[in-house]
Amino acid sequence: MAKFHAALHRRRTLEELSDRLILESIESVTFSLEELHDYKDMFRELERKGLIVTGDFEDFLWSAKGESSNFLFQFDCEIYGEINQALKCYSVQKMYNGITTQTVRQNIGQIKEAIRITRGFRLDHLKHLEDTLNHFGDHKQFAMATSIKEFLIFYNHPHTELYCDLCANYNAKVSNVRELPNFHDILLFDVALDDYFITCTSDEEKLQYYPIFLWWRITRIIPMRPVEFYSLSRDCTMKDDEDRYWMIVPRRKNLSSRPGKLAVTDTIQVNREVFELIEDYKRLTLAYATESSYLISYKAYRKYVKLKSKEITREKIGASQFINMIDRFYDEIVTAKYGDLERIKPGDTRHFAFCNMMLQGFNMLTIARMGGHSQLETQLHYHKHLDHFAQSFVHHAAQMLRMKRVNLWRSNWDVATQGIIAKSRIYQISDFQETHKVEHGFCTDHPSRCQVGDCRFCEFYFFSPEDKQKGLAWLKDCSDALESRLKKQLELIRYVTKSINYDCATLDISAY
């Protein structure tokens, strides 16, 4: 039986030209009852790999393994004859070729909806599908139209061409680049989290939100998927003989044998702070250590959650439990102090980590391997966040040097100017032992020791303008100058990224 690689294509290796190059033939796969035995073979192989949990190929209900839970596949379109059989083969082939269970289940749901609307893709029901699609939002229109086209081409339905022509009207892909929260609100969350743990008076108080603290500290540095964080084992960290600290990440993507694919790494060096945070959490949850082998304790989570329903025995927390914990932290801690903020989602920190690595100059190979990407191109997706993230990073660094936390946040001034204005109101020039006249104020250190270059970003600057309006305008102009500087730096990063030749087999890099 030919081995399938891509979602709906068959690849055969014709010749291995070298260690890095192979000659392949690629052909599209279409459904045929004569090849039904091949799909049953693939189904049995999925069973052996543990991807199909329950059900036989002939059954109308299957259970398939997902990243955090199992998914049910229901093939209940028997009244449309062969279409139901083709739908099973379509599902098997996509899972066999590495498409995630969740994605395939979504495809099947959209195709089944179309089957029912069109009574099995009858020609006289084409208009019904169009009317239905027109009532959906852009994202669902595109997703459903794409699934329908893919299935009909695979099935080779008699009316494939007409239905595909209709679906082509909904081919405007909605960008799936994650919209990151407002940075001002991200920063306040960071402040609130730090404040909470600084002021905790007991281990019980700390334990309630400790998983959020771990997630925030770890996944902003190491680009982990939320499910990888939830799946960290209790012994995920280690210290070697050279006093280096390591973390083992349960990566979900495996190495492909095809050329151009990367071996993702699951063992990542971390600093002492991360190691000690995890050790501290393990100490606090020692009483629950026998309940589960996972780091984040579900039993400890349930201790602080009141549910009306009967408790379900779990080995680890999942997405819904962790989101619940974040929401409780916002409701009980953040909102009371800072108001209603845009909320951070579990997957946002992975984007922060990628952008942070890019801005620090990590090469694409390192970023891809640390992020669990088997293809270099995947991380280009995150370039769209660089402008937003870079401005945020600089603002964060600036405000941390010179800004008091509570009452200065809510104003029309950006975070880079609020601290300067506040400092000028709190102090007098006579409060400083050393002063030197500079633009619109004074340097309270000696200019010869300056390591900043622009007073507006220096902790030793004291704002005291002779003309207040001109001084304030000068302060606000710094954001424009900063933006211009950032754009030049980001263009350089993008240029260098594209100008390097990466050898995925040897992990070597060289300039073109």
Nearest alpha carbon to residue 8 among 145, 147, 173: 147
Helix (H) or strand (E) holding 94: helix 82-96
Read off φ and ψ for residue 11, nearest 5 degrees: -115, 135
Q: Check residue 394 and give its pLDDT.
A: 47
Query: pLDDT per residue over 53-75, tens digit each?
Result: 999 999 989 999 887 678 899 99
Domains in the chain: ranges and CATH: 1-169 (no CATH), 183-374 (1.10.443.10), 405-500 (no CATH)
- Decide: 43 and 92 in contact? Cβ < 8 Å: yes
pLDDT of residue 400: 45
| CB proximity list for 301: less than 8 A, separation 6 or greater | 211, 317, 321, 325
314 pLDDT tier (thresholds 50, 70, 90): confident
Q: How confident is the model at residue 372 (pLDDT cuts 50, 70, 90)?
A: low
- The helix/strand/coil state of 113 is helix
The full DSSP string for 276-288 is HHHHHHHHHTGGG
Q: What percent of the chain has pLDDT over 70?
A: 67
Q: How far apart are the first and last CA of the chain?
A: 41
Q: For 258, which DSSP code?
A: S
Cα maximum dimension of the chain = 92
> Which region holds residue 58: left if phi is over 0, alpha if psi is between -120 and 50, else beta?
alpha
Greater confidence (483 vs 374) lies with: 483
The pLDDT of residue 80 is above 80: yes
Compute the average pLDDT of residues 442-465: 79
Complete DSSP assignment for 140-180: HHHHHHHHHHHHHHHHT-TTHHHHHHHHGGG--PPP----P
pLDDT of residue 256: 44
> Which stretch of 163-167, 238-242, 254-258, 499-503 has the lowest confidence by average pLDDT?
254-258
Q: Which residue has the higher pLDDT, 456 or 250?
A: 250
The predicted structure's pLDDT at residue 415:
43
Mean pLDDT value across residues 345-367:
73
User: Would the pLDDT of 144 be above 90?
Assistant: yes
- Sequence-distant (≥ 6) Cβ neighbours of residue 96 within 8 angstroms: 4, 42, 45, 46
User: What is the pLDDT at residue 371?
Assistant: 62
Specify the pLDDT at position 477. 67
453 sits in the region (left: phi over 0; alpha: psi -120 to 50; else beta) called left
Per-residue pLDDT averaged across 362-382, rounded? Answer: 57
Q: Is residue 504 very low, low, confident or very high in pLDDT (cuts 50, 70, 90)?
A: very low
pLDDT of residue 84: 92
For the segment 306-330, the average pLDDT, to the nearest whole number, is 79
The residue among 452 and 509 whose pLDDT is bigger is: 452
Which of the four pLDDT bands, split at 50, 70 and 90, describes residue 245? very high
What does the pLDDT average to over 258-271? 66
The two tokens of residue 351 are: 């984007």
Count CB atoms within 10 A of the CB of residue 318: 16
H or E element that contains 238: strand 237-239
Structure tokens at 399: 């405000």
Mean pLDDT of the chain: 77
Place of tokens 């992975």: 350
Give the pLDDT of residue 466: 79
Please give the pLDDT value at position 456.
73
Tokens of 235: 């012994």
Output the pLDDT for position 506.
46
- Confidence category of residue 502, pLDDT binned at 50, 70, 90: very low
Q: How confident is the model at residue 318 (pLDDT cuts 50, 70, 90)?
A: confident
Dist. CA 229–CA 122, nearest whole Å? 47
